[in-house]
Structure 1
């Protein structure tokens, strides 16, 4: 027997989740009632009537915080969203190093574009995004009061759910659109991708008047700026989501309108280009919307431990040894960073990450590595010299040599590594930030939106100047390149390559002659476990009516 809120979970597991969230709700109310009893000016309830809840921001957050933090699962291999975007693109690879990182091929199928409906990434990403949808729908049931606070709460959850549906249509195309918790269809059909796209635009626009102004709430909460960014993404990707032959000027005009709104809100680019990724980045003036990081949570981002070599424990005085896994794909680094990284000789121990032109190349660990006291690191395989080249996505000590197998690949530490940290990171994950808005406006202008090439040039070069690079004439190819330099490891690359028509055509997976390219890879398939649970998902998508 199944209970479905779009996530299609087994009944027992869904009940467990529901009970957990409701228990948190009632625990929160105990505190609310206690505080209310201390005030002679506040009504006291032995329960909270639905038409009264929420009365204040504290009550609102007692429900919404868990919905926000649910998104942390998407940043690791619980929910897979981040790695599905970066590993399936030209950015990141998890090479098998001997027997390490074989993991049943779960990383390799993304790199080689050989995933199936049974792939772990395909199944878990669907499941965890729909967990968030279900949590937002359940939260909305609590916010029925005819009050300003309740209206704000409804707007927040509607926009957050719309963001999650943006991820779903971007990754899977047609999916079931579910906007209720109680009474949701047990076996829903998929809805047309175009219809969901149009519905999301409608829902977000209707919510905007009730959202808080940007800068008045924490970056991990929904604000007007976040809603404008989401609308910009929906319009910019309209050709893809609506299946149109070309980009429509009206969509590009709308994307520019909403990027103008974002840019006019008072956000500012960080002078240090990696500052939006610091461990204490919660108040970054560049970040528009983020996923809250917490080193004490057991469900957060663990990327730094996935990429660093085991010996980097001595570099950062880490609580345990990292896992020596993923690295930047060599061609991505060569094409976008090598010419301006100030890094000439990886075997010269005097070469450090301070010798850069493009600030963003500090996001990589390259060449000879050092301990926290500046001493060169080495193990039984030799000096720890990280090389740009990665021979293949499967390497072994016997045929490739232990040093090649273990030391290949520049490591990606775009998110600051805290001294003394453990696997789970404190860094908030920037979902949307100002640099993206400038590059989106440049792209929309070049695709025929209102504006001129001079505007596109200015938008492109404000990002290049901030990073330390000279001006460049804005072209679509250069905008895509700059998006790669600026936004890699932020979950945008796969979608960017699809929109630019590059995703299905390029061969950037390593040593994989059996790789499977083609337009059928532009979206992930409906997971097999979901098809088994709900045969309606195999049917042709049905229309979704706009209200």
Structure 2
């Protein structure tokens, strides 16, 4: 059976970068009835596109969502991280159709569609009864693939707008479909998947398979952001779906009672997890972020053997002088948006036997034994202390570039090795418990997101009290004895409070750009070292020039 993988005609070049990286194999000289010998073979084929999805959710897709928004930055740190101005281009909304993150995301989206279509083509031709499997099982397997295709297209719609809709591997060089056509295609796939998937059973661990609640949640996401995608608000539709999920119409889910239950080493057992990507030490590791976030010497902080590249950090809440940016900008200042009593705001400490506290690296950097960790650049052989500020503090003093802190500029080009607070959303054990490393699965959809979709949909439809109650139902677990010092109320709920709640709960989960766009804030608001980019065309990324070079039927997005 010849596999056309027609998406290669769009310059996906499946045999080069992506396939090598993802250990891609195409069985181009076999047919399904000769290759599939057991249920194990079916599972191997079924979950191959999920491996691509696990890669797809992180790295460049994450960067497009977070480094273009108000919560994260990669500042230039002396001789490090200028990267030809790449990080500044994204922060200042000056990306181009030649930028690699954009090309990788266009290509990765359609590659995911191709892999899922390929598997669907094979499994649809099998006689499942030969493997002692039912027709219902086959329908469920195919429905998982429909949901996965919808997942890739949903992300593609968010990034680029309309994309070519492939329903067969034999199609070549298709033009882009309209935003509405892609929206309708995603909706159709998800509704069909809901019909054919089983529900989660009480007590089941979340191990990556797609069950009925997953396409229901993705359909809620589609409707929730419909105004951004097709210019039509659909908050009534997102509210109904989200309410049904909360009411367990699509399976038994409930909010985790612990703030880190859905992120910890055993999060596959969290009742809140609707869909996750499995991760395990030396198997499908959820680890790509480590090098980006952590200092070269942070291995001593974790008591680990992994070095970092010391790039990414939270955008600053404080000016070099120590005064707050909160009075200057409604957006940004992510660390200070956490209440001081929030259990997550503590510095990360691994407590052994899969227990930990805190979610940030902030302040003096020390080993678990309390020994001082020193720097290797601006603070070579001096104690490291991570600050919620951006500025070249090492250049202040007698005979130096700046005579006082008051003169320090704070912008993307002015970082140092200790610049910015570092997020530890995924817990890291010490070497003594190294079998736990990367044991936390990657959350893709969790029930708290559905609560937030329901809350914001209620707000948009005029029910402020219900919106506040839903936000607070999630917030309370982050405080001792569930006592929230700053709950959402009818009096304080507005666009900015809602955006703050999304930021606090989902910080670092690769969604911030989309939330800002939904509120029409992505191109109109200012935040640290970012002026409004004004033009709404920047709500979409350009179609990469490499894609257009490989398919002349593709048209560019307006404004590029």
TM-score in terms of structure 1 length: 0.81
In structure 1, the partner of 2:456 is 443
Counterparts of residues 48-447 of structure 1 (less than 5 Å): 49=33, 56=39, 58-77=40-59, 80-144=60-124, 145=126, 147-181=135-169, 183-184=170-171, 186-215=172-201, 216=204, 218-244=206-232, 247-248=233-234, 250-261=236-247, 265-296=251-282, 300-331=286-317, 334=333, 337-338=336-337, 340-341=339-340, 362-379=358-375, 380=380, 382-391=382-391, 405-420=416-431, 425-447=438-460
Q: Deviations over 1:113-135 (max 9, x none)?
A: 11000011111111112211110
Helix, strand or coil at the partner of 1:176: coil
Q: Does 1:526 align with 2:514?
A: no
Residues 432-441 or 289-298, more deviating: 289-298
- 2:522 paired residue number: 503
**Partners in 2 of 1:249 and 1:323 — Cα distance?**
42
Alpha-carbon contact 2:293-2:309 (below 8 Å) kept? yes
- For 2:323, the equivalent position in structure 1 comes to none
Query: Which structure has greater helix proportion?
Result: 1
CA distance in 1, matches of 2:420, 2:313: 5
Aligned pair 1:486/2:519, yes or no? Answer: no
Q: What is the RMSD computed on CA atoms of the aligned residues? A: 3.7
Aligned length: 495
Question: 2:252 is paired with a residue of what secondary structure?
Answer: coil
Distance in 1, Cα, partners of 2:494 & 2:36:
49
Whole-angstrom distance in 1 between the partners of 2:304 and 2:425 = 17
The CA deviation at 1:448 is: 1.4
Distance (Å, rounded) in 2 between the aligned partners of 1:333 and 1:89: 8
SS in 1 for 2:417: helix
* Cα deviation code 1:341-368 (max 9, x no counterpart): 359xx9xxxx9568xxxxx993211111
Contact 1:122 1:527 in 2 (8 A): yes
CA contact (8 A) 2:359 2:425 kept: yes
What residue number does 1:455 align with?
A: 466
Mapped contact 2:106–2:544 kept (Cα < 8 A): yes
Q: For residues 189 and 240 of structure 1, what CA distance do their matches in structure 2 show?
A: 22
Q: Deviations over 1:421-456 (max 9, x none)?
A: 69x94432111101111111011111118xx43322
Distance 1:49 1:248, change over 3 A: closer
Answer with 370-379 or 263-272: which moved more: 263-272
1:54 Cα deviation from its structure 2 partner: 8.8
1:34-91 Cα deviation digits (max 9, x unpaired): xxxxxxxxxxxxx8638x97974x34312122111112322444xx111110111111
Gaps of 5+ in 1: 27-46, 355-359, 542-547
Task: Tell me the SS of whatever aligns to 1:21.
Answer: coil
Distance 2:112 2:218 in 1: 17
Distance (Å, rounded) in 2 between the aligned partners of 1:68 and 1:228: 18
Deviation at residue 472 of structure 1 after TM alignment = 1.8
Query: TM-score scaled by structure 2?
Result: 0.79
**Is the CA contact (8 Å cut-off) linking 2:74 and 2:313 kept in structure 1?**
yes
**In 1: Cα distance, 2:239 partner to 2:415 partner:** 50
* 1:189 to 1:445, Cα distance in 2 relative to 1, 3 A: same
Contact map agreement 1:235 1:255 (CA 8 A) in 2: no
Structure 2: segments with no counterpart, 5+ residues: 128-134, 318-330, 350-355, 403-407
CA contact (8 A) 1:189 1:536 kept: yes
Output the CA distance in 1 between the equivalents of 2:86 and 2:285.
19
The 1:180/1:48 distance shift into structure 2, 3 A limit, reads closer
Aligned mates of 1:516, 1:187 — CA distance in 2: 33
Measure, in 1, the Cα distance between the counterparts of 2:446 and 2:19.
Answer: 35
Partners of 1:329 and 1:361 lie apart in 2 by: 22
Identify which range, 225-234 or 310-319, moves more after superposition: 310-319
